[in-house]
């Protein structure tokens, strides 16, 4: 018998708002609300949506050697991370594969890590097995995480956490909402400007209702989160990246600074350095499909002669694009923008072409 699904601190609120709940990574999560995925997607693009991302793992790494210890496990430049700044990086294995992707924030005396829900237990085990005893790792199980995303997010958060709207992209700081201490970062998973807010679990419902009381804000679920991140060309762990894909194959080489490329010192560094120098044998690409039939995870990708050259890892209808879109891996020879390809959907080869990612331009707040 499988274990009962976990519930976030906002579970009762989701039910009260009429959400359709589904199992996801061991959690009971809202996939959509009565307005529907398309409406939630559009509202995020034009105003502001509130997502419950409390299923994500929030971890704290302490100890004087925490930076060096984490750099032995990830290719990101953690030593160069200024206080209050955050960085996207990956845990890698000896083959250069991605154990998980995560966000790391320098909070001064500790590093704050946010990991994927589906990899939460595996990441904890991996980190504890490889970190030295003088670098304690704590799971912050008493925290919830909210994501306020969309072009109105800065105006909304300014009303409740004054000063947070001035944070630059990938910066974090401590604020208060209704007298409750919170940690706000300017980040997100939609391609839009926005904020992620770490709050005490006991106050999550109250703070969520504060945001939902604003005229610009509507709740959004996992369905819209997925269509938004696909249009933004962002990877979903277990689909677009996993332990068999390297950062170079995934188009994530930009996360590895020159010091780490040259110096190595993390699992799989030799494999990754070789792919940087020689090129990866396959590449993650965006695919625009002709017609109206969407591609799905696992659909094969073929060249114009019908020869298999790869597979789709994420696909669906792009509401903002107004057409079916997909991401997947293809042989490097077929990865150039404009290359003709076809995706095999229901035994039929549906023509399309390789296109640059993202499908919809990012609108992060690069300056304030």
Q: Please tell me the predicted confidence (pLDDT) of residue 60.
A: 98
Residue keyed to tokens 């919830």: 144
State the sign of the Cα–Cα–Cα–Cα dihedral 337, 316, 297, 2.
positive
pLDDT digits (tens, 9 = 90+) for 223-241: 999 999 999 999 999 999 9
Q: Please tell me the predicted confidence (pLDDT) of residue 4.
A: 84
* Nearest alpha carbon to residue 37 among 20, 58, 16: 20
Q: Please tell me the predicted confidence (pLDDT) of residue 367.
A: 56
Instruction: Give the Cα separation of 195 and 207 in Å (integer).
Output: 14
Taking the model in full, what pTM does it have?
Answer: 0.97
Q: Please tell me the predicted confidence (pLDDT) of residue 3.
A: 76
Q: Please tell me the predicted confidence (pLDDT) of residue 251.
A: 98
* Domains along the chain with CATH numbers: 6-55+141-231 (3.30.1360.120), 281-355 (2.40.30.110)
User: Can you list the residues of the chain whose pLDDT is less than 50?
Assistant: 368
Cis, peptide link before residue 225, omega less than 30° from 0: no
């Amino acid at each position: 018998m499988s274990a009962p699904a976990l519930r976030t601190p906002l579970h009762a609120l989701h039910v009260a708002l009429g959400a359709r709940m589904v199992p996801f990574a061991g959690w009971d999560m809202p996939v959509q609300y009565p307005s529907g995925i398309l409406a939630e997607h559009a509202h995020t693009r034009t105003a502001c949506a509130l997502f419950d991302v409390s299923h994500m793992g929030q971890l704290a790494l302490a100890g004087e050697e925490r930076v060096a210890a984490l750099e032995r496990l990830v290719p990101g430049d953690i030593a160069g991370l200024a206080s209050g700044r955050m960085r996207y990086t990956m845990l890698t294995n000896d083959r250069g594969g991605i154990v998980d992707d995560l966000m790391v924030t320098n909070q001064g005396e500790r590093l704050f890590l946010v990991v994927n829900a589906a990899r939460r237990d595996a990441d904890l085990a991996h980190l504890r097995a490889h970190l030295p005893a003088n670098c304690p790792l704590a799971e912050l199980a008493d925290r919830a995480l909210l994501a306020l995303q969309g072009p109105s997010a800065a105006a909304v958060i300014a009303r409740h956490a004054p000063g947070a709207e001035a944070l630059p992209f990938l910066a974090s700081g401590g604020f208060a909402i209704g007298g409750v201490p919170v940690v706000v970062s300017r980040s997100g998973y939609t391609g839009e400007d926005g904020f992620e807010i770490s709050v005490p679990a006991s106050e999550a419902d109250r703070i969520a209702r504060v945001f939902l009381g604003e005229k610009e804000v509507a709740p959004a679920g996992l369905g819209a989160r997925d269509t938004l991140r696909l249009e933004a060309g962002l990877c979903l762990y277990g689909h677009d990246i996993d332990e068999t894909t390297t950062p170079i194959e995934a188009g994530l080489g930009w996360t590895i600074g020159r010091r780490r490329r040259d110096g190595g010192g993390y699992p799989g560094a030799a494999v990754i350095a070789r792919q940087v120098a020689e090129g990866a044998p396959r590449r993650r690409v965006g695919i625009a499909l002709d017609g109206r039939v969407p591609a799905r995870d696992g659909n094969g990708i073929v060249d114009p002669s019908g020869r298999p050259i790869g597979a789709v890892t994420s696909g669906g209808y792009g509401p903002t694009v107004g057409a079916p879109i997909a991401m997947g891996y293809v042989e490097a020879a077929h990865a150039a923008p404009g290359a003709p390809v076809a995706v095999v959907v229901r035994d039929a080869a549906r023509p399309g072409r390789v296109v640059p990612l993202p499908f919809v331009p990012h609108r992060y707040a690069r300056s304030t």
